[in-house]
Amino acid sequence: MNDHSLSGKKGVKIMSLLLNPQNYESPQTDLQSKRVMEKTIQFFEEKGLTSIKEDDQASRWYTDFLKFLKKERIFSTLLTPTGYGASDSRFDLSRVCEFNEITAFYSLSYQYAYQVSILGLGPIWMGDNERAKHKTAQLLIDGGIFAFGLSEKAHGADLYSNEMALSKTSEGNYLANGGKYYIGNANVAALVSTFARYKDTKDYVFFVVDSQHRNYKLIKKISTSGVRSAYVGDYDLIDYPITSEDILSSGPLAWDSALSTINIGKFQLGFASIGISTHAYYEALNHASNRELYGKKVTEFPHIQKIFTESYARLIAMKLYALRSLDYFRSASDQDRRYLLFNPIQKMKVTTQGMKIIEMLLDAIAAKGFEQDTYFETAIRDIGMIPRLEGTTHVNIALVIKFINNYFFNPENFPTVPKRDEPADDSYLFRQKAGKLASVRFPDYRLAYEEVQVPNVTVFKEQIELFRSFLEQASPNPEQLKNIDYMLALGEMFTLIVYAQLILENSKIHSISSALLDEIFNFLVRDFAQFALTQLSNYDNSEQQEEFLKSMLKKPILNPTTVQSLWENEVKPLQGAYQNT
């Protein structure tokens, strides 16, 4: 999450947003946060890629990593809100996300242990059980990891169909019965936050259980093609005794805790995808630049340079969006809930862009990517799990659609959100206001485009205005509105518009080069045109709608000089910048 200088042509210094563990200085300003990040990098660099791959291929549980976390009090420091743990503990999203990127850079398995602990902790910090909070703080100090018992085998994450039940006993306590499926850390979690209903009232409830309790039956580890070292579990509670000390929340608070926890936890996925894509990028570029075909280096072929420049642009765009959406999340309040639009786009768009990048890079390195001793082989397996298993794309698009009207047609003035990387406890996360998504307001999206004179930014802005006119003059009819597929396809275009806005906002904060910005908007123009073509060719549209969609099929302005500048000044200097062994 920091900028690294690279030497460009003629001594010009350019900045890269890419994480490089071998040349890394954490952007955190306090010493404890810096120590956490630097110690973590040191642990993985000393462990080495060979050992990480051996653990992965053997599906070996990462005892060494958990011992390291306990020794350095890392989860306690990062995941305990102010007032419950040590003086340096706080739930600071800036460093929470940084740690996600670093761990995923080495393996999604390590990030997964952290990710599901964040999810497991959410209902605890959001609940009204103070005793459970203080107990949790101590368990974190003791090196505990946590789990989130939400999804079930028959229903997935469909909260309405939840079958786990609490039944009252004659003593006024409860017995929990039911099963949960696809639960990370289910084998050793100090506490598993479990979502259920009261059997008599049918009200929702969150309670905690101990994974080592005799009434907690761990059925099996679910074998997965990726995150092999992690433990994805299936467990049953059989007459598990529950008292008031174990109940975190009931009724509306339990329901809101489920949704708000997902908002926090799934947001991290974008940073995980960035970490994976960055490591894979270094490895692919190193391989291609050291391989010769037909008497010259692979990276001298124009089509290979194109792959690396575009994938670099897509990767930087991912990070620009993720960091800017982080600013909005940290600035959230009951009066400013724009993060409720930006978060699902983080979960869906950033993660699917990671899949796109790995696919492109695989075309550049071909068979090398499948060799068992490469990082890339794990990236191929793991990158697709993130959007599919943790943040289903169509669900997030359906959520995004609810914001369209206010985004385009009901602007409201807001103070400009600054870069938010200062040390602070982001306590609003645990008291988020749920519901009423259609009431969320936004400032005029065109503000981001002011004073930007970049050719492909101008083309994309034209596409946006055509899309707005489509909504205004040829909006979906009642039948189309009921067609979920039609609206999801429309949502892809809207998602890309919001994605571009935050990229553009953050390009000003991080002062990226005009060549890079032009290349980013080059692919945004093409992607938008592709979504418009999908809308045009796959669904029934009125004549007026077809005319608008055809007008959106614009091509970017192609400038070979810009692409060459990007290759020479920003991509080529990354050759050999990070070496993994």
- Using the predicted structure, report yes or no on whether residue 363 has a pLDDT greater than 60: yes
- Using the predicted structure, report yes or no on whether residue 306 has a pLDDT greater than 50: yes
| 254-280 residue pLDDT tens | 999 999 999 999 899 999 999 999 999
Q: Do the domains at 4-141 and 146-250 have one common CATH topology?
A: no
What pLDDT score was predicted for residue 285?
96
The DSSP H or E segment spanning 412 is none
| 404-414 residue pLDDT tens | 999 999 999 99
- Using the predicted structure, report yes or no on whether residue 156 has a pLDDT greater than 90: no
What pLDDT score was predicted for residue 292?
74
- How far, in Å, CA of 553 to CA of 190, rounded? 54
Q: Are 383 and 305 in contact (CB under 8 A)?
A: no
- What three-state secondary structure class fits 29? coil
What pLDDT score was predicted for residue 325?
98
Question: CA dihedral defined by 146, 150, 156, 160, rounded to 10 degrees?
Answer: -170
What pLDDT score was predicted for residue 390?
52
Q: Are 261 and 148 in contact (CB under 8 A)?
A: yes
HEC-encoded secondary structure of 277-298: HHHHHHHHHHHHHCCEECCEEH
Of 228, 285, 236, residue with least CA distance to 576: 285
| 1-16 residue pLDDT tens | 454 444 433 333 445 7
What pLDDT score was predicted for residue 557?
97
275, burial (CB in 10 Å: exposed 0-12, middle 13-18, buried 19+): buried
Helix axis angle for 484-509 and 302-330, nearest 10°, is 90
What pLDDT score was predicted for residue 394?
63
**Nearest 5°: phi and psi at 239?**
50, 45
User: What integer is the mean pLDDT of 165-192?
Assistant: 96
146-250 maps to CATH 1.10.760.10: no
| 184-240 residue pLDDT tens | 999 999 999 999 999 999 999 999 999 999 999 999 999 988 899 999 999 999 999
Decide the pairing of beta strands 165-168 and 191-198. parallel
What pLDDT score was predicted for residue 6?
44
- Residue 558 has what DSSP assignment? P
- Using the predicted structure, report yes or no on whether residue 449 has a pLDDT greater than 60: yes
| 310-342 residue pLDDT tens | 999 999 999 999 999 999 999 999 999 999 999
120-157 in b/e form (b: 16+ CB < 10 A) is bbbbbbbbebeebbebbbebbbebbbbbbbbbbeeeeb
The mean of the pLDDT values for the chain is 93
| 545-568 residue pLDDT tens | 999 999 999 999 999 999 899 999
| 409-436 residue pLDDT tens | 999 999 999 999 999 999 999 999 877 8
Query: pLDDT higher for 104 or 488?
Result: 104
Instruction: Give the gyration radius of the chain's Cα atoms.
Output: 24
Of 10, 43, 28, 123, residue with least CA distance to 78: 28
What pLDDT score was predicted for residue 535?
95
- CATH superfamily of the domain spanning 268-405+448-574: Butyryl-CoA Dehydrogenase, subunit A, domain 3 (1.20.140.10)
What pLDDT score was predicted for residue 437?
87
Query: pLDDT higher for 503 or 266?
Result: 503
What pLDDT score was predicted for residue 8?
39
Instruction: Please report which confidence band the pLDDT of residue 290 belongs to, taking 50, 70 and 90 as the band edges.
Output: confident
What pLDDT score was predicted for residue 110?
98
Which CATH number is correct for 4-141, 1.10.3720, 1.10.540, 1.10.3470, 3.30.300?
Answer: 1.10.540
181, burial (CB in 10 Å: exposed 0-12, middle 13-18, buried 19+): buried
What pLDDT score was predicted for residue 73?
96
**Per-domain residue ranges for the chain?**
4-141, 146-250, 268-405+448-574
**Nearest 5°: phi and psi at 100?**
-60, -45
